[in-house]
Structure 1
Amino acid sequence: MRTKPLAVVAVGGNALIRDNDHVAIPDQYDAVVESVQHIAEMIEAGWDLVLTHGNGPQVGFILRRSELAAEEVCPVPLDYAVGDTQGAIGYMFQKALDNELRRRGIHKPVATIVTQTRVSPIDPAFANPTKPVGAFLDEATARARQQQLGWTLMEDAGRGWRRTVPSPEPLEILESAVIENLLNQGCVVIACGGGGIPVVSNAANELVGVEAVIDKDLASALLAKQLQADLLLIPTGVEQVAINFGTPEQRWLNHLSVSEAQELIQQGQFGAGSMLPKVEAILRFVTHDESQKRSGKGLITSGPAIKRALMRETGTWITR
């Protein structure tokens, strides 16, 4: 049985790519090495930890390589591409975090779990692809690939155009009991990569993979709920959430109650391609167990600010 507080930390797939000149695997690993320093500080401070991660750029790269090589090798289905990223990105985090913990004199095993997430086969998202994957492209290149390859597209938060794929609602993290067992054995667990591999149950009650990518923040919130975690932490590019972002009236927020966050969402204060899914995910976790009077909390801050945020010196906390 766990005796330490448990945090689920959800790192974005875009965090591994600093810019368009640093997309190679060694560049991504360098970004991971930097990220795990802040995660190791949490472990050193006494937290049990499950690390989740996104895979939007990386799964898009796999699909693009598959298209370019279509005449030579069989294409990679989308659910298998998610599985590929779980292995590759999980390996990067596992190796880097193990090295960082050893440097700090912390002897704690790190394990990566291939994780499946059950979704509904009739989720409306399958008919409305909205999840951006792959690289940011200029509009002309994106439109050309739309014509040539049948891509669906979206303009992503002012940063460029990206391919889109279906993103159904996560209903259940199937390996949560295994993750719980590893935590109880003292492991740091890397799980639910890319939101989990999306699967459905067929008429024979068998699991079948489907062509989709699940939002990693929503899947992380669901995992935190199933594990009864104490904290859902979502690192991002800024230390705090802001309202009126980018205007003279911009104001940074130290704390939001559930009702305050819901009101700001109604006002359209959070960008759909940036802060909104993070706030919504934390709200799902913080409000899920009101009948049990649990005290799960959410925190949004930058990676380098995690230590200070946990001491309430920065970051945006979301609580009931």
Structure 2
Amino acid sequence: MRVVVALGGNALLRRDQSPTAENQLANIRSAAAQLARVAENHDLVLTHGNGPQVGLLALQAAAYIDVDAYPLDVLGAQTDGMIGYLLEQELANLLPATRAITTLITRVEVDAQDPAFGHPSKPIGPTYTKAESKRVAAAKGWSMAVDGRAFRRVVASPQPRRVLGIQAIRWLLERGALVIAAGGGGIPVARNGEGQDLHGVEAVIDKDLCSSLLARELHADVLVIATDVAAVYLDWGQPTQRALGQVTPHDLSGHDFAAGSMGPKVEAAQAFALATGRRAVIGSLEQIEEMLAGSAGTQVCAAIADAISQNPDL
């Protein structure tokens, strides 16, 4: 079975953690232990978020005033290499030496006229108190928004249109490799006009929407969106809070989910399920085997019972 797993940036670095190299490595080791068990039995494509990491790099770059800070597309490429290296190494320590593991720096084309460039919504970087966020926004000219009980920087998050280099990913999968690709939603590139050359743009693509597009183009059997909560919840944070189990894309359409967090995950799952008739699952990385078996997380499919019964390996 071909499985695409989208690892959330917060699954690799929790919201309440300091963004140190040690914390990130510890979380990646924990994630690798879960993912290695999936890789033993399935073809695996792994994507990952980079919100905390790319935001930290932006802060570090802005602190060195003798050189202009690198743009977000370049910082995104740096996080692809950093996180991909750590994932690749920890997975290689757990899987047989004969299993090839490859990290690809993946460009993803977006529309230069996407309205998202005028409405920043993607949270990146560390969290701040309200007072801290006002100070940072004034000093650096950044847009800030509420993220849970704190505030974070938000940047443009255009829709992914095309995954560049998809042929290389297919080639590697056909030869049994575990592929790490489209990290951070891919490196955003665009054209200024018809036939113009591609160039990097100042944005961070949502990794779940990109993972959904990638899973469709790879004809994946299952899309797993692994995050730091066990499922999609209605009335999140309220006394009436409740988790969703097996649902159709239509079931999810009547509810509002936070644009900077669960909203893109739900949208990505809906898009994959509607386009393929196959399952997308949203839930905790710690339960990934149960999610693949259909017994954990929020299972999204137009005909969930049929999808599970027709795949005896699930």
User: Is the TM-score greater than 0.5?
Assistant: yes
Give the aligned partner of residue 278 of structure 1: 265
Give the aligned partner of residue 306 of structure 1: 288
Alpha-carbon deviations, 1:94-133, whole Å to 9, x = none?
111111214xxx7311100000000011111111111111
Query: Within 1, Cα distance between the matches of 2:247 and 2:44?
Result: 24
Give the aligned partner of residue 173 of structure 1: 163
Does 1:139 pair with 2:104?
no
Alpha-carbon deviations, 1:35-75, whole Å to 9, x = none?
0111111112x21111000111111111111110122x342
Normalized against structure 1, the TM-score is what?
A: 0.90
Give the aligned partner of residue 82 of structure 1: 76
Query: Within 2, Cα distance between the matches of 1:18 and 1:288?
Result: 32
8 Å Cα contact 1:153-1:164 kept in structure 2 = yes
Deviation at 1:20, TM superposition (A): 4.5
> Percent identity over the alignment?
40
- Residue pairs, 1:1-320, within 5 angstroms: 5-18=1-14, 20-44=16-40, 46-71=41-66, 73-102=67-96, 107-158=98-149, 160-203=150-193, 204-263=195-254, 265=255, 268=256, 270-289=257-276, 295-320=277-302
Moved over 6 A (4+): none
Deviation at 1:180, TM superposition (A): 0.7
Alpha-carbon deviations, 1:263-303, whole Å to 9, x = none?
2x2xx2x33333222111110111124xxxxx421011211
8 Å Cα contact 2:228-2:283 kept in structure 1 = yes
Unaligned runs of 5+ in 1: 290-294
For residue 288 of structure 1, give the secondary structure of its aligned residue in structure 2: helix
Query: Within 2, Cα distance between the matches of 1:91 and 1:83?
Result: 12
- The number of residues matched between the two structures is 301
For residue 225 of structure 1, give the secondary structure of its aligned residue in structure 2: helix
Alpha-carbon deviations, 1:121-175, whole Å to 9, x = none?
11111111111111001111111121111111111122x1111111111000011
What amino acid does structure 1 have at the position aligned with 2:71? Answer: P
Query: Within 2, Cα distance between the matches of 1:177 and 1:296?
Result: 22
Query: Within 2, Cα distance between the matches of 1:134 and 1:19?
Result: 10
Normalized against structure 2, the TM-score is what?
A: 0.91
Distance 1:271 1:130, change over 3 A: closer
What amino acid does structure 2 have at the position aligned with 1:315? Answer: G
Query: Within 2, Cα distance between the matches of 1:316 and 1:25?
Result: 31
Query: Within 2, Cα distance between the matches of 1:271 and 1:77?
Result: 27
8 Å Cα contact 1:115-1:174 kept in structure 2 = yes
For residue 226 of structure 2, give the secondary structure of its aligned residue in structure 1: strand
Unaligned runs of 5+ in 2: 303-314
Deviation at 1:26, TM superposition (A): 2.0
Query: Within 1, Cα distance between the matches of 2:172 and 2:215?
Result: 15
What amino acid does structure 2 have at the position aligned with 1:107? Answer: T
Distance 1:119 1:21, change over 3 A: closer
Query: Within 1, Cα distance between the matches of 2:301 and 2:145?
Result: 33
Alpha-carbon deviations, 1:201-248, whole Å to 9, x = none?
344532111111000000000101111111110112222222233333
For residue 154 of structure 2, give the secondary structure of its aligned residue in structure 1: strand
